[in-house]
Amino acid sequence: MKSKKSSETTKIKNKPEKNWPKIPTDLDPWRPVWAQQKTFDLASGKYLKIWHGPQHPGVTGNMSVELTLEGDVIVEAKTHVGYLHRGFEKLMERRKYIQCFPIVCRICVPEPDFNEYLFATGVEELAGVQVPERGIWIRTLVLEMMRAASLTMGLGGQAGAFGLVPIGQWGVAHRDYILDLFEELTGGRVYHMYIIPGGVRQDLPEGFAEHVEVVMNKLEKLIADIERVMFNNAVFKARAKGLGYIPPEWIEPYGITGTTARAAGVPIDVRKDNPYLIYDQLDFDIILGSESDVYERTRLRKEEILNSIRLIRQILKRMPSGPVRAKLPNVLHWKIPAGETYVRAESGRGEMGYYVVSDGSEFPRRVHVRGASYTHAMAVLERLAVGISIADLAGLMPSLQTCPPEIER
């Protein structure tokens, strides 16, 4: 019983097999993957247990994967989070609604604005606040800029994980150009605290559209370079193609969203499925892939950046005038009518959602954050890591767009 199962899973699966098994039995809710205890005879010397993280530079943030290796090959992976737990959801229950506003952005470092937007829109929905038209457009602009910034850094991270270090540096530097724009717009670089319940805090500064255009041109040039250096790179192709294949059948049961799902050819995009803000007025298509491996997911993210650039240009061109913010009641005693709501948005990593419950008091009764990382980086990673080489794990994790702060809230 002990070592019976392990010997079956030692084959390296660098390429997707055509006859991948249909929905495996371990997706049975009564027998979840995490509850399946596998035991490996470590004393035999055949297996080695190591911790990948939480200090590993290839790990996206502070999480660790407990690996059991047979030679170079991973036979079991368990994800461990909790290194970054700050209890934001609980903190919010002891803070007035306006006091939650500066907290939520900290839930996810690379994409804070999605948290700001979702919290604000959840509260607005419960309180019945109508955001002015221009405020909605600026919100969309901010979210698209955020997506571009996050994915640019993500591309760099993905490249860095395979040793293409210059691209990592280009990605971070170009994110910084976008952060400069954020600084100009919001007053903050990483955490913007800009999308406030009621609208956005301030109107666009003078000449902002031109500054955005300069950065977008730089970004386009960068993508063209990355195209040559990364996507037409024999090494990258050799390592990324076929790695971390996610069959389309997994998408729904695992709750996979975002580019990770679209790379498998499943057209899921909250911007199209449940248009929020002004996405129904913008001209864009769902970007679909088919191969569903690390290479494909990375390629899709590159396409998403270009799509965001197109959206940003559209938004700036068609931005209406008017106020950007609705007047709120006195926020010091702001009571939100009792009720609950789930709001969602398409973040760079996938669907992000906020479940906000109000009991009619000045404090939220419960705020629950649904992030894409939770499924991608924990459940899916544990499946995908089995059978790959330990050297490829660092490349697999960023391709699932892991963000531990968002997992732990």
Partner 1 sequence: MSLKDILSPFSAWKRTLEKPYTVKKPIEEREGADRYRGFHVNDIEKCIGCGTCEEICQNEAIDMVPVNFIHAGKGDSGLRPQIDYGRCCWCALCVDVCPTGSLGMSNDYIWVTSDPQEWVFKPGVDDKIWKDDDKGYRRSDEAWLLDPKLTPMPVMEPDVRKNTFDEMAYGYEVVMAVEEASRCLECGICIDACPTHMDIPEYIKAIRENRLEDGLKILYDTNPFSESCGRVCTAHCQDVCALGHNGDPIAIRWLKRYITDQTAEKRNEILRIGKSLPQKEGTVGIIGGGPAGLTAAFYLRNYGYHVVVYEQHDKLGGMLRYGIPQYRLPKEVLDREIQTILDTGVEVKYNTTVGKDISLKELKEQYDALFISVGAQIGTQMPIEGIDTPGVLVGLEFLDKIAEGQRPDLGERVIVVGGGNTAMDVCRSSMRLGAKEVFVYYRRTEAEMPANDEEIEEAKEEGVKFEFLTTPTKISKQGDRLKIECIRMQLGEPDATGRRRPIPIEGSEFTVEADTVIMAIGQKVDSSMAEQAEVKATRWGTFAVDPDTLQTNVKGIFAGGDCELGPDDAIHAIADGKKAAYFIDKYISKKGKHHAETK
Sequence-distant (≥ 6) Cβ neighbours of residue 257 within 8 angstroms: 268, 270, 350, 351, 372, 375
Q: Which stretch binds partner 1 (CB under 8 A): 76-84, 166-174, 310-318, 388-396?
A: 166-174
Only segment of 4-12, 74-82, 328-336, 383-391 that touches partner 1 (CB under 8 A): 328-336
Query: Measured between alpha carbons, how far is 352 from 100 in angstroms, rounded to an integer?
Result: 18
The tokens describing 371, both together, are 């992030």
Helix (H, G, I), strand (E, B) or coil at 325: strand
CB of 243 to partner 1, least distance (A): 16
Q: Per rule CB under 8 A, is residue 330 in the interface with partner 1? A: yes
Contact at 8 Å (CB) between 401 and 259?
A: yes
Per-position x/- string for 308-327, each x denoting binding to partner 1 as judged by CB under 8 A, each - no binding: ---------------xxx-x
Q: Give the shortest CB-156-to-partner 1 separation in angstroms.
A: 13
Q: Select from 10, 14, 62, 99 the one that contacts partner 1 (CB under 8 A).
A: 99
Q: Which helix (H) or strand (E) holds 333?
A: none
x/- string (CB under 8 A) for partner 1, residues 251-290? ----------------------------------------
Query: Among 11-19, 78-86, 92-100, 387-395, which window interacts with partner 1 (CB under 8 A)?
Result: 92-100
Considering only the stretches 15-23, 60-68, 184-192, 349-357, report the one whose residues sit in contact with partner 1 under the rule CB under 8 A: 184-192
Q: Rounded to an integer, what distance in angstroms lies between the CA atom of residue 324 and that of residue 45?
A: 65
Rounded Cα–Cα distance for residues 314 and 329 (Å): 33
> Residue 64 and residue 51: Cα distance in Å, rounded?
7
> Which residue lies nearer to partner 1 by CB, 11 or 189?
189
Torsion of CA 294, 409, 165, 77, to 10 degrees: -50
Omega within 30 of 0 (cis) for the link into 54: yes
For residue 96, the number of C-alpha atoms closer than 13 Å in the C-beta half-sphere is 9
Taking the complex as a whole, how short is the minimal distance between the CB of residue 107 and partner 1, in angstroms? 13
Looking at the DSSP bridge assignments, the partners of residue 340 are 357
Stretch that binds partner 1, among 20-28, 93-101, 272-280, 301-309 (CB under 8 A): 93-101
Dist CA 104 CA 367 (whole Å): 10
Q: Please report how close the Cβ of residue 60 comes to partner 1 at its closest, in angstroms.
A: 23
Residue with smaller CB distance to partner 1, 167 or 394: 167
Size of the site for partner 1 (CB under 8 A): 48
> For residues 118 and 352, is the Cβ–Cβ distance under 8 A?
yes
Nearest CB to partner 1, comparing residues 191 and 254: 191
Q: Is 201 an interacting residue with respect to partner 1 (CB under 8 A)?
A: yes
- Stretch binding partner 1 (CB under 8 A), from 55-63, 147-155, 178-186, 243-251: 178-186
Kindly tell me which residue out of 1, 35, 43, 234 binds partner 1, with binding defined by CB under 8 A: 234
User: What does the alpha-carbon distance between residue 382 and residue 386 come to, in Å, rounded to a whole number?
Assistant: 7
Residue 1 or 332 with smaller CB distance to partner 1: 332
Q: Does 133 bind partner 1 (CB under 8 A)?
A: no
Q: Residue 36: count other Cβ atoms within 10 Å of its Cβ.
A: 10
* Residue carrying structure tokens 């902002």: 208
Of 19-27, 79-87, 197-205, 244-252, the window that binds partner 1 (rule: CB under 8 A) is 197-205
Does residue 186 bind partner 1 (CB under 8 A)?
Answer: yes
What CA–CA distance (Å, rounded) separates 15 from 109? 33
Which of residues 191 and 279 has its CB atom nearest to partner 1 in the complex? 191
Residues 6+ apart with CB under 8 A from 223: 302, 305, 306
Asked if 191 is part of the footprint of partner 1 (rule: CB under 8 A), the reply reads yes
Of residues 134 and 344, the one with the C-beta less far from partner 1? 134
Q: How far, in Å, CA of 312 to CA of 368, rounded?
A: 30
User: Site residues (CB under 8 A) for partner 1?
Assistant: 95-96, 98-103, 106, 166-167, 170, 173, 176-177, 180, 183-188, 191, 193, 201-203, 205, 225, 228-230, 232-235, 237-238, 323-325, 327-333
